[in-house]
Amino acid sequence: MYVSESININNIGHLTIGGCDTVELAAKYGTPLYVIDETGIRKNCRKFVNSIKEHYDGNGRVLYASKAFCCKEMCRIVESEDMGLDVVSGGELYTALSAGFPADRIYFHGNNKTPSELKEAITAGVGRIVVDNKEELDYICSLAGTMNRTAYVYLRIKPGIDAHTHKFIKTGQIDSKFGFALETGEAMEAVKLCFSTANVELVGLHCHIGSQIFDITPFAHAAEVMIKFLADIKKETGVELRELDLGGGFGIKYKLADRPEDFSAYMKKVADSVKSTAREYGIELPYILIEPGRGIVGAEGLTLYRVGSIKNIPDVRTYVSVDGGMGDNPRYILYQAEYEVVCANKADLTRTRTVTVAGKCCESGDLIQENTLLQEVEPGDLLAVLSTGAYCYSMASNYNRIPRPPVIMVKDGEPRIIVNRESYERLVEDDV
């Protein structure tokens, strides 16, 4: 109904997700509460996997970018969907391994992996390490040598594409902290360095142009640039690299007016670009990888809050304060991210009032949404903020020592806890 098929309104006017009444969920588990629908997540996984089958003969793999939402149960779901996993820290790697995720399907990213993270990755035997810079390459070479192992690597390339999205979440342009630049010759030097480096086997290239991107043209353009670079590598060194990871970044529906492209249309355009450029430059079709994070979980999750105080400041605005805020969702304060907010216990009523939904942190900028349409609400009502499945739980903090909310996974009307609510005891556990 709203932003995902999983979200509906039942016959008593309550918002539902995955067949569960959100009012009942809030009563059972308390608020704030993250709720995420397993059926929706699996459907999205299959859309991505099928798009590669349909448009690229299945010659590729979908990696879930775990930074969007990472916990053991999510890793188990991704594993059972036969996908790979993109991790970007020792913590995400540890979570995946703890969930029994096969190491050879893990791809390790990051622009400044620490020596201990690299050691953990090589010890675990991750499938690929995506090398970001020369210092890292040197370190991997010496580490793999000492450990008597071969590290299978990709190089992260900045394709020089400027995607149209918020400046904090675009990464493909030359002014980016991620990867090797093409224009300056840095990328080609890194390729040659890999070929002359012991214990490192360069198997492919990677790029990622940014996140929450609606226009699919820059993705196809990036694919073309990368294929041309594969052809240049062949010309200069005689080696044809066989794997190409094109990253993630597919936009999702946050506002009702958002119209993201269908995944299949995305893959068709990218596959066409890969095929035609490869033909033109005389190279074999590479095995391709894509790394959706938000596109898999974003629209399948929502956050429930209880309304506390309501402050009507005449001729200024009305603040509706809730029992969470920037600790469980820092995306408004960081990116002025837009959301739909719905009164979950009055979901069948029209949203007629313009209000600002504020959090409970000691910070004026702690807002969930400014000037948003909402039903007439009163203290005690339940608010649902939609499309919070990605980059909310994973970016949550304990600011003001507010415990992080639990995550409830729902499926066909059945809820289960997949992450417990943080306790006050946990908050002081590591204090000395």
Residue numbers annotated as active site = 362
Give me the least distance between CB of 62 and ligand LLP, in Å please: 11
Footprint of ligand LLP (CB under 6 A): 65, 67-68, 86, 109, 169, 208, 211-212, 247-250, 291-295, 331, 335, 390-391
Q: H or E segment at 15?
A: strand 15-17
Dist CA 138 CA 30 (whole Å): 50
Give me the least distance between CB of 391 and ligand LLP, in Å please: 3
The total of other beta-carbon atoms located within 10 Å of residue 347's CB is 24
Give me the least distance between CB of 345 and ligand LLP, in Å please: 28
Residue with tokens 């492919």: 204
* Residues in contact with 279: Cβ distance below 8 Å, sequence separation at least 6, in sequence order: none
| Token couple for 388 | 């919070």
Closer by beta carbon to ligand LLP, 86 or else 340: 86
Give me the least distance between CB of 352 and ligand LLP, in Å please: 30
Omega before 32 within 30 of 0, i.e. cis: yes
Closer by beta carbon to ligand LLP, 143 or else 297: 297
Closer by beta carbon to ligand LLP, 389 or else 415: 389
Closest CA to 210 of 169, 271, 245: 169
Dist CA 394 CA 328 (whole Å): 9
Give me the least distance between CB of 221 and ligand LLP, in Å please: 17
* Residues in contact with 142: Cβ distance below 8 Å, sequence separation at least 6, in sequence order: none
Give me the least distance between CB of 376 and ligand LLP, in Å please: 31
Dist CA 320 CA 154 (whole Å): 48
Closer by beta carbon to ligand LLP, 179 or else 415: 179
Dihedral pair phi/psi, residue 326, rounded to 5°: -65, -20
Closer by beta carbon to ligand LLP, 139 or else 214: 214
Dist CA 244 CA 381 (whole Å): 49
Amino acid at 61: R
* CB distance 227 to 207 below 8 Å: no
Closer by beta carbon to ligand LLP, 343 or else 390: 390
Dist CA 288 CA 293 (whole Å): 17
